[in-house]
Amino acid sequence: MILRKLRVDAPGATALILFSVLLGLNQALVKLVNAGMAPVFQVGLRSACAFLIVVSVALIMRKKLSVFDGTLLPGIFSGMLFSLEFYLLFSALEYTTVSRVSMLFYTQPFWVALGAHFLLPGERLTRTKSAGLILALAGVVMLLVRADDGAGAETIKGDLMCIFAAIAWALIVLVARKSRLADSTPEMQLLYQLSVSGILLLGVAFVSGETFRVMTLSISLIFAFQVIFVVSIGFLIWFWALSTYPAGEMASFGLLTPLFGVFFGWLIFDDVLSFGFLIALAMVCGGIVLNNLPISRPVER
């Protein structure tokens, strides 16, 4: 039995910061592995490898895994969205920088909030969340229209692919909330996504011939690190924290991921961090803060 806690303590904070570092590093690792594997093949192979690890851990921990509980169809649909999300994300890194991807991909909470406003009763946008959404979207527009970091047509193409990847991620969340997937375990939801994307994208890769490029030992090791530490162990850290700490307490750590992503883009690829980019990043991060502020409720007398 997992003991739930009311606040994020030191071990929890350490785990969540580590998870944010892994996610922030992930975009840089994907760009490196793109040199050895086509994006569609990399996503499919990563999903297939991670599926084996996650299903093994789920079976060892005796988690409920079933496709006969009404979750099969929404699970397959979620997996198709997952396939689209990561194909767009990995492909975007062929055209744009890690820093820009790290900022644009993590606009996902705003697309969730916008969709929830119309689809989920009781989750309408408040004034604060609306202000956060407007501020973040203004930052995105500013990034797309300014060219002070040398962004050209190819870069904007990658940026737009990344935004659509974030929207696909948001749709996965909304599908899970509005369907029978809401009653399934997190492990089962992830297994739907990994299995469908593995089968679908590996099939597309082999039919199109987009598989290996120039593989090296270092690229193979980076890919293995992704599968084991980012997808598998990172997933375990996240769901352990989700089952232990309040979601509201965890939300503030979401701000760290795009910051770490920008840092690793600068560190590994020497991404240009222009003044306009930093202002846009500050606007998106400010929007994340506003989006995660707790809702104040009137005190009953």
The candidate with the shortest Cα–Cα distance to 114, out of 145, 142, 92, 137, is 137
Q: Give the pLDDT of residue 1.
A: 47
Alpha-carbon gap, residue 271 to 253, rounded angstroms:
24
Q: Give the pLDDT of residue 59.
A: 93
Q: Give the pLDDT of residue 245.
A: 79
Alpha-carbon gap, residue 50 to 293, rounded angstroms:
34
Q: Give the pLDDT of residue 288.
A: 86
The answer to whether residues 229 and 78 touch, using CB atoms and an 8 Å cutoff, is no
Highest-confidence range of 16-20, 148-152, 210-214, 293-297, by mean pLDDT?
Answer: 210-214
Q: Give the pLDDT of residue 233.
A: 83
Q: Lowest mean pLDDT of 37-46, 87-96, 126-135, name the range.
A: 126-135
The candidate with the shortest Cα–Cα distance to 93, out of 265, 284, 277, is 265
Amino acid at 136: A
Crossing angle for the helix pair 72-92 and 39-60, to the nearest 10 degrees: 140
Q: Looking at per-residue confidence, does 4 or 149 come out higher? A: 4
Alpha-carbon gap, residue 108 to 193, rounded angstroms:
17
DSSP output for 232-298: IIHHHHHHHHHHHS-HHHHHGGGGHHHHHHHHHHHHHH-----HHHHHHHHHHHHHHHHHHSPPP-P
Q: At 215, is the pLDDT very low, low, confident or very high (cuts 50, 70, 90)?
A: very high
Q: Give the pLDDT of residue 294.
A: 67
Per-residue pLDDT for 219 more than 80? yes
Q: Give the pLDDT of residue 193.
A: 94
The answer to whether residues 166 and 107 touch, using CB atoms and an 8 Å cutoff, is yes
Q: Give the pLDDT of residue 296.
A: 54
Alpha-carbon gap, residue 78 to 270, rounded angstroms:
35
Q: Give the pLDDT of residue 5.
A: 79
Alpha-carbon gap, residue 299 to 155, rounded angstroms:
50
Count H helices, E strands: the chain?
13, 0
Q: What is the mean pLDDT of the chain?
A: 89
What are the tens digits of pLDDT across the range 230-281? 888 887 787 777 668 776 667 677 788 999 999 999 999 999 898 889 999 9
Per-residue pLDDT for 3 more than 80? no
Per-residue pLDDT for 300 more than 50? no
What are the tens digits of pLDDT across the range 183-212? 888 889 999 999 999 999 999 999 999 999
What are the tens digits of pLDDT across the range 59-89? 998 888 999 999 999 999 999 999 999 999 9
User: How many C-beta atoms lie closer than 10 Å to residue 171's C-beta?
Assistant: 20
Alpha-carbon gap, residue 62 to 69, rounded angstroms:
17
Alpha-carbon gap, residue 183 to 116, rounded angstroms:
18
